[in-house]
Copies of this chain bind each other. A is one copy, B any other.
């Protein structure tokens, strides 16, 4: 069965909400509560859970711990996924800081940059390697996911090197569409697009609300 992309996105959010509840000692949660927190409908939440098979109980809801574990297993594999980060500039460093120690089975295990000054350093617990060493490091660290944070002109060649070295999932921060084979999944995170989208709909909403 093919899980819709939107469902996967929401699952990621539900997982964090469940995590937060666990921290607060909340042992169970209803679909309508998750719905309110996530900003969706309760049907949507239950429908999304059909894809992961997590079961709730009428009048009791979903067990927070089970829910978190269920989503976790569904999203990320049972054995931890290694992640590589290419391009340790302004954004790369921020990303590294952000993910450091955050997600137990989705860890940035190696960084790559072409700047000789950065190679060999350890930033936020992560070693920076030369891009020449990409293939061997990815193999030895069992890395199959990568984050691209290099200047746009180098994004495509970086993607190709990564794929060559066995990567089949990429988060791309460079503002260019990547040309990749069909068995590689790419998510483009595009700040310009986000801002322009907001600019557009903010304006539309103003017009609507003024009528």
Taking Cβ atoms with an 8 Å cutoff, the residues of A that contact B are: 3, 5, 8-9, 12-13, 15-16, 37-39, 74-77, 81, 83, 90-91, 93-95, 97-99, 102-103, 106, 144-145, 147, 168-171, 175, 177, 179, 183-187, 189-206, 208-209
Contact = CB atoms under 8 A, between A and B. Distances in A.
B75 A196 contact: yes
A201 B8 contact: yes
A200 B76 CA distance: 6
Contacts of A99: 191-192, 195
A106 B196 contact: yes
B168 A206 contact: yes
B75 A199 contact: yes
Contact of A170 (B106, B144, B198): B198
B205 A185 contact: yes
A16 B205 contact: no
Given A177-B38, A200-B75, A205-B168, A190 B12 contact: yes
28 contacts: A8-B196, A12-B197, A13-B190, A16-B175, A76-B196, A76-B199, A77-B199, A77-B203, A81-B202, A81-B203, A83-B195, A90-B93, A90-B97, A90-B98, A91-B98, A95-B191, A98-B191, A145-B198, A145-B202, A168-B206, A169-B199, A169-B205, A171-B191, A171-B198, A185-B202, A185-B205, A186-B198, A189-B189
A21 to B, nearest CB: 13
Given A81-B199, A91-B94, A201-B169, A192 B102 contact: yes
